[in-house]
Amino acid sequence: MLSANLQGERATFVTHLECSMTGERYPADRLHGLSAAGKPLLVRYDLSAAGRAVSRDGMASRPTDLWRWRELLPVRHTSSVVSLGEIETPLIPIPRSGGPGVIVKDEGRLPTGSFKARGLVMAVAMAKELGVTRIAMPTNGNAGAALAAYATRAGIETVVLCPDDTPEVNVREIAAQGARVWRVNGLIDDCGAIVGKGAAEGLWFDFSTLKEPYRIEGKKTMGLELAAQLGWRLPKAIFYPTGGGTGLIGMWKAFDELEQLGWIGPERPKMFAVQASGCAPIVKAFEAGEEHAERWENAHTIAAGIRVPRAVGDFLILRAVRESGGRALAVDDEAIEQATADCAAQDGLLLCPEGGATLAAWRKAVAEGLVGADDEVVLFNCATGLKYPLADRSHVLDRNDLPPLETL
């Protein structure tokens, strides 16, 4: 059944789009890629009109799914939305493997098992609204899966290119959900170059991270939701596993919009951009005081979702982290595996490796005095841990030759 939040036609409050680098304006309701300066476009709204249409208390009476935020989202016609049930994700404390104030926002509960659903449900709705019939995308796995699911339902053809060592479950779920999937002997930016070439030839619309403007708007709902769930305040710090950085950029934008609406104050969490030490271009740029990040060579990590050697929104990630007084932190695969194992064994919550990276980074931040051990912080578990290979810790029992049962 369609969410009550999606019933009836309605108008959006979008006024225009804006180059995130130069501020140059672009009209709404047209198909856009990057700006003329080659940078991501940001969607702008008439927030005073949106604030007159719905109050903070009005929000409270709505069903809590993603479409609750419709006045702050770009979709003009409800009929453009193909929904798979984009629920509000729960906040789960992990006091044992973390600390008394550590909460996980568990995004693994979303359709297709990752937070990529938030971005892709929005981007696909807008593509449908604007008449796109064929989409191509480079992916490390979860984005391709979410695209395949939503685009197939919307009747849009999809071509998905992924590195040949992408988690097997991702490659297969993408194909199962109706996309044509190709394994490429390269990294995600190599796949992106092929997608860009086809787009330039007019073969398809390029859905690469931040190269179309609406995924940020979908991911922004993580920040809106978090504020509402915490009673219209924000935690001391947020730890976000950063690949292309869509979610971090989106949440930072969400906090701004909420403040302009008068729904939160000027306080902001420290934003921690978490990367793997085998692929940490943002951390390197942060530490060097640079505004842009160089491509990371020979990228490797078990956390495939954050194996992104180059991000088109690098300067937006770095800007948000610096403005917030946070940091970019790298953690190694061993620390990621340890954190993931501890959280499952001690708190009963199975994280994906990228989610494990945020717990490892929180531990590092506490050790370095960047956050207090008791501070309220939110970690993002971006996908369900069930998508990834698990260590076999089982034992074998011969039913015909049982040992004493008290030894089991």
Ligand X SMILES: *Cc1c(COP(=O)(O)O)cnc(C)c1O
- Whether 212 contacts 32, CB under 8 Å: yes
Work out how close the CB of 275 gets to ligand X at its nearest, in angstroms, rounded to a whole number.
Answer: 9
Binding part of the chain for ligand X, among 147-155, 192-200, 226-234, 241-249 by CB under 6 A, reads 241-249
Exactly one of 68, 76, 105, 116 binds ligand X (CB under 6 A); that residue is 116
Q: Compare residues 323 and 374 and give the one whose CB is closer to ligand X.
A: 323
d(CA 156, CA 174): 14
Task: Indicate the residue type of 212.
Answer: E
Structure tokens at 248: 């971090």
Determine if 247 is a binding residue for ligand X (CB under 6 A): yes
Contacts of 168 (CB under 8 A, 6+ apart): none
Determine if 167 is a binding residue for ligand X (CB under 6 A): no
Q: Compare residues 71 and 333 and give the one whose CB is closer to ligand X.
A: 333
Exactly one of 244, 269, 281, 326 binds ligand X (CB under 6 A); that residue is 244
Structure tokens at 287: 């530490």
Classified as helix, coil or strand, 325 is: coil
Exactly one of 20, 78, 112, 142 binds ligand X (CB under 6 A); that residue is 142
Exactly one of 352, 361, 366, 378 binds ligand X (CB under 6 A); that residue is 352
Handedness of CA 173, 176, 178, 180 (dihedral sign): positive
> Which 183-222 positions form the footprint of ligand X (CB under 6 A)?
209
How is the beta sheet containing 180-184 ordered, strand by strand?
A: 180-184, 157-163, 134-138, 205-206
Neighbouring-strand partners of residue 310: none
Neighbouring-strand partners of residue 265: none
d(CA 117, CA 111): 6
Work out how close the CB of 405 gets to ligand X at its nearest, in angstroms, rounded to a whole number.
Answer: 41
Work out how close the CB of 81 gets to ligand X at its nearest, in angstroms, rounded to a whole number.
Answer: 21
Work out how close the CB of 53 gets to ligand X at its nearest, in angstroms, rounded to a whole number.
Answer: 29
Determine if 245 is a binding residue for ligand X (CB under 6 A): yes
Exactly one of 12, 83, 221, 242 binds ligand X (CB under 6 A); that residue is 242
Work out how close the CB of 193 gets to ligand X at its nearest, in angstroms, rounded to a whole number.
Answer: 18
Contacts of 333 (CB under 8 A, 6+ apart): 276, 277, 278, 301, 302, 303
Task: Indicate the residue type of 35.
Answer: S
- Other CB atoms within 10 A of residue 8 CB: 7
Binding part of the chain for ligand X, among 65-73, 184-192, 242-250, 366-374 by CB under 6 A, reads 242-250
- For residues 25 to 54, the per-residue mask of contacts with ligand X, x marking binding by CB under 6 A and - elsewhere, is ------------------------------
- Determine if residue 383 is left, alpha or beta; phi over 0 gives left, psi from -120 to 50 gives alpha, anything else beta: beta
Number of residues that bind ligand X (CB under 6 A): 18
Handedness of CA 392, 394, 397, 403 (dihedral sign): positive
Q: Compare residues 138 and 245 and give the one whose CB is closer to ligand X.
A: 245
Exactly one of 5, 114, 158, 177 binds ligand X (CB under 6 A); that residue is 114
Exactly one of 104, 306, 316, 318 binds ligand X (CB under 6 A); that residue is 306
For residue 104, which of 342, 388, 391, 367 has the smallest C-alpha distance?
342
Q: Compare residues 78 and 112 and give the one whose CB is closer to ligand X.
A: 112
Residues that bind ligand X (CB under 6 A): 114, 116, 142-143, 209, 241-247, 305-306, 352, 354, 382-383
